[in-house]
C-alpha cells in the first residue's frame, strides 16, 4: 500500500482522538436545544457555558467576552463589518498578506465607501511599523486588521507593538489569530486587542466551529440575526458538539503547548536542513528564524523546473499532501497573493509544508525522497 504523509496542517488538522471521544459522548447523551428551559435543554446549556468558561480561562479573559461562531472567517467578518456599521470606522488599515476572509471583506467595504490603506511589507513578509504609525495619524476612525502569523509563509507579526500603536492613536485592533490560538499563549487581560478569531479545526478540533473574542469595551450588533443565542450576539442554535470539541482541543493544546512547540520546530528545522542538503538552489519564503516564524509552517521555494505547476500534483501522486499556498485558494489557477506581495519569483514553484504533533522524521525523509524523485524525473 502506498504511504501517505499529511503535511498540510495549516489548512486543517486531524481530529484528536480525545476530542472525538468528548464529541461522541455529547452526541450520544445531550440532544436538547440549549435555548429550551426544560432539563434536556439546561443540560446542553451547561455544556456550552462550561466550554466558554474554559476557553476564557485559558485566554485570561471573562467568559462574557467569548462568542462561538461557525469559523474563523465568520469571526473576521463580524469584527470588520460591525466595526464599520456600529463603531463608526471610516478607515481600515490592513496588509496585502492577509487571509481572504479579511481581504475580501475589506474590498467589499471599500466599494461601499470605506477608505482602505495597505501597509507595506518587505520580502520576508514583515510589515512597515513606521508606515503603520503614519497611517494611524488621521482624523478618521480607524480599524487595524493584521494577522499574527501568515498562513502561507509563517512570518510572525508583533501584535503587542501593533496594539500599543492602536491604543496610542485611538484605533480599533482586529487580529486574525486563526493560525496561532492554541500554538502560542494569549493573555487577553494585557494584550491591547479588540477582536481575535479562532477556528477549531486548526488545533485538532472539529470543522464548523470557532469563536470571536470581543473586548468588553466594544458594543456591536449581531452579524447573524435570529434568536437570542450567544447573548443576542449570534442567531442560530449553537453547534453543541463542535463547541465541546473546540473546548477540549484548546485545553489539550495548552496542556502540551511547550512540548509540541519544541517537537514540531525540530521537524521544521530538520526538513529545512534536508532540503538544503538534497535540493541544490532551494530557498524559503518568509521569515525562517524560530523567533520570527510560525513553527508549524515552512514555505519552500524550489528551483525552476519544467511544468512547475505539476510539482504538487506529482507529490500528491507520491502520497504527499501539501499546499501551494492558502488552502482557500487551492484548486484555482490564481497565483498566491502572499507570494506576489513579497515579490517571490513566479518561476520558482512554491510549496507550503505545515506540520503537526502527529508528523515524524521518518515522514519528512519520505517527503524529501519524493521531492528528489520529482527533480530527477525532470533532468
Q: Could you list the active site residues?
A: 328
Locate 333 and state its grid cell.
489557477
What is the rounded (10 degree) CA torsion for 218, 220, 224, 229?
A: 70
Tally of CA atoms within 13 A in the half-sphere of 306 that contains its CB = 4
| Dist. CA 373–CA 379, nearest whole Å | 10
Name every residue whose Cβ is closer than 8 Å to that of residue 316 and which is 6 or more positions away in sequence: none
- Candidates 269, 264, 270; CA nearest to 288 is 269
Q: Measured between alpha carbons, how far is residue 264 from residues 198, 271, 296, 340, 356 in Å?
A: 20, 11, 6, 28, 6
Q: Determine the Cα–Cα distance for residues 187 and 222; give it in Å rounded to an integer.
A: 25
Nearest to 249 by CA among 206, 212, 278: 206
Amino acid at each position: 500500500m502506498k504511504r501517505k504523509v499529511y503535511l498540510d496542517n495549516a489548512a486543517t488538522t486531524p481530529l484528536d482522538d480525545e476530542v472525538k471521544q468528548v464529541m461522541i459522548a455529547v452526541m450520544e447523551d445531550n440532544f436538547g436545544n440549549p435555548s429550551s428551559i426544560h432539563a434536556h435543554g439546561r443540560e446542553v446549556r451547561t455544556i456550552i457555558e462550561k466550554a466558554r468558561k474554559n476557553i476564557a480561562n485559558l485566554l485570561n479573559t471573562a467568559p462574557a467576552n467569548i462568542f462561538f461562531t461557525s469559523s474563523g472567517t465568520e469571526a473576521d467578518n463580524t469584527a470588520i463589518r460591525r466595526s464599520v456599521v456600529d463603531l463608526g470606522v471610516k478607515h481600515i488599515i490592513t496588509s496585502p498578506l492577509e487571509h481572504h476572509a479579511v481581504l475580501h471583506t475589506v474590498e467589499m467595504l471599500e466599494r461601499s465607501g470605506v477608505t482602505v490603506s495597505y501597509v507595506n511589507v518587505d520580502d520576508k513578509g514583515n510589515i512597515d511599523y513606521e508606515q503603520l504609525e503614519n497611517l494611524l495619524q488621521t482624523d478618521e476612525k480607524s480599524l487595524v486588521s493584521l494577522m499574527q502569523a501568515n498562513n502561507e509563509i509563517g512570518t510572525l507579526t508583533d501584535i503587542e507593538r501593533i496594539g500599543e500603536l492602536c491604543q496610542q492613536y485611538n484605533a480599533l485592533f482586529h487580529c486574525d489569530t486563526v493560525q496561532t490560538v492554541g500554538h502560542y499563549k494569549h493573555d487577553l487581560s494585557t494584550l491591547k486587542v479588540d477582536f481575535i478569531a479562532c477556528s477549531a479545526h486548526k488545533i485538532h478540533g472539529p470543522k464548523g466551529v470557532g469563536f470571536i473574542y470581543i473586548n468588553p469595551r466594544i458594543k456591536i450588533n449581531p452579524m447573524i440575526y435570529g434568536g437570542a443565542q450567544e447573548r443576542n450576539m449570534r442567531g442560530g442554535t449553537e453547534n453543541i458538539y463542535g463547541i465541546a470539541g473546540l473546548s477540549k482541543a484548546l485545553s489539550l493544546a495548552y496542556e502540551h503547548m511547550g512540548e509540541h512547540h519544541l517537537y514540531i520546530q525540530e521537524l521544521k528545522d530538520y526538513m529545512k536542513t534536508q532540503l538544503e542538503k538534497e535540493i541544490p538552489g532551494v530557498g524559503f519564503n518568509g521569515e525562517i528564524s524560530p523567533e520570527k516564524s510560525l513553527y508549524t509552517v515552512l514555505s519552500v521555494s524550489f528551483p525552476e523546473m519544467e511544468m512547475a505547476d505539476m510539482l504538487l500534483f506529482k507529490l500528491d501522486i507520491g502520497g504527499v499532501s501539501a499546499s501551494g499556498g492558502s488552502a482557500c485558494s487551492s484548486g484555482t489557477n490564481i497565483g498566491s497573493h502572499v507570494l506576489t506581495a513579497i515579490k517571490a519569483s513566479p518561476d520558482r514553484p512554491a510549496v507550503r509544508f505545515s506540520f503537526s504533533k502527529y508528523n515524524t522524521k521518518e515522514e519528512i525523509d519520505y517527503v524529501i525522497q519524493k521531492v528528489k524523485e520529482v527533480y530527477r524525473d525532470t533532468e
